[in-house]
Structure 1
């Protein structure tokens, strides 16, 4: 229940004032001691809070999920350990887990497709897929039609060109690449829609853990490219969804 629903219930005498006041106490955020759950984020931004699981204990993750479930929220967790998922699944049987992207999903109500078009996720190589799949599953969870075009890097540019009909059908494109990170520039020069570039930490020593790809993408000569942080598939999927839902 959000603030608007609560006010409607009070107005229509469906809920007692004292009960409403107790609910209001936890509406903006709920303090668990180790986390302040932002229950109003969906009201403000259109998307519920996402749980970044890395660095959190299983106890903390389960505690956050329990409180969000009480608000009938759909749950998205990123960087979730398989061991954590195995503790969550017996408690919440509708929990789903993608081992490659480490994405956790608990869908408590239908996800409305709010996207106005299609998001296409492109990778330079197969090694970039874990990050790309994080973007893919994030964009799907946020209510978008998403298609994947993988392993079409610049070392064999004919592979990319053979998929140009798919790329041309996109309203937003996410391009994930490691090594020298040139692929977003190539894609950006072929299309007339926003391109979100995601550098990955894939590469040999002089890749510097993704820094070389990041700098290449930031210095792209192609217009219409934005860049998120190294390995930040979630950030790319979220941004692509925000763009795709604009009228």
Structure 2
């Protein structure tokens, strides 16, 4: 795509602003040494932040991505960080970038110092069944917050102590969350319980916590997929990133709906 031609057509009135935006969103790709083809238009096109999967990438390639993309997109989220990548980011010296690292979630945000995260009127509950599930929950939490929603985190509330589940549900109700992410390993029962007792969408995230038959998250995944309560959707094993993105998109739409309702009331 010739960006100059799009801008010239826009300036001459041949195309509308909406058409120019559509063309730019559709073809925005960054080529980095014929090794990486990065979709720098993802956030513009889908309202989803730029997210890089860290595993399998060398520190050198990660640095190339950050140096090339952050100045254009404003920020990059790096998920599934390796220990080597965490050490690199902890010691990296970027003059114009800020780096936030969540070691437990193995996720980082690298952004320009003047980049402002958008804020929306939405709240997302992030619930983890056990302490071993917190890493995936933290991954989801970072993504949700980068998408502009407030999070309400409640950890270690698995069904082994059912009174803790009831306490967590009370908090979610009191904080009036718009959607809940529920992370669980082992038999993966918690999302079903939460979905049966709360009136908002629930996103179940099975984790690879477990042992024996159905270990590595399979038992939790199958349990959630076979769940009886309606309103429960399930992402893949350990996929906190996708759970965070889905919750953030739901939250944003709810926020826009609230704004429209306020505008109608004022008119």
Shift in Å, 1:142: 1.4
Runs (4 or more) in structure 1 with deviation over 4 Å come to none
**8 Å contact kept, 1:48–1:73:** no
> Which residue of structure 2 lines up, in the alignment, with residue 64 of structure 1?
65
* Equivalent pair of 2:209/2:215 in contact (CA under 8 Å): no
- Quote the residue 1:91 is aligned against: 93
Question: Does residue 157 of structure 1 match 2:159?
Answer: no
Q: What is residue 136 of structure 1 aligned with on the other side? A: 141
Moved more, 156-165 or 79-88: 79-88
The TM-score with structure 2 as length reference comes to: 0.80
Match of 2:231 among 213, 224, 227: 224
Aligned length: 228
- Gaps spanning 5+ residues in structure 1: where? 13-23
User: How far off its partner does 1:222 sit?
Assistant: 0.3
1:104 maps to what in 2?
Answer: 108
User: How do 1:192-207 and structure 2 match up within 5 A?
Assistant: 192-207=199-214
- Corresponding position of 2:247: 240
**CA positional deviation for 1:72:** 4.3
Which ranges of structure 2 fall in alignment gaps of 5 or more residues?
13-23, 258-267
Which residue is 1:37 aligned to? 38
Structure 1 residues 67-94: Cα deviation after superposition (integer angstroms, max 9, x where no partner): 1122142110001124223323423262
Q: Is the 8 A contact 2:66 2:110 kept in 1?
A: no
Q: Which digits, 9 at most, give the CA deviation of each residue in 1:179-213, with x for residues without a partner?
A: 10011110001111100000001012123210010
Aligned residue for 1:177? 184
SS in structure 2 of the partner of residue 110 of structure 1: coil
Q: Deviations over 1:148-193 (max 9, x none)?
A: 1111111111011123222222100000001100111100011111
Contact 2:179 2:247 in 1 (8 A): yes
Show the counterpart of 1:147: 152
Q: Identify the structure with the greater helix proportion.
A: 2
Give secondary structure in 2 for the equivalent of 1:87: helix
- Aligned partners of 2:7, 2:171: CA distance in 1, in Å? 46
Q: Secondary structure at the match of 1:203?
A: coil
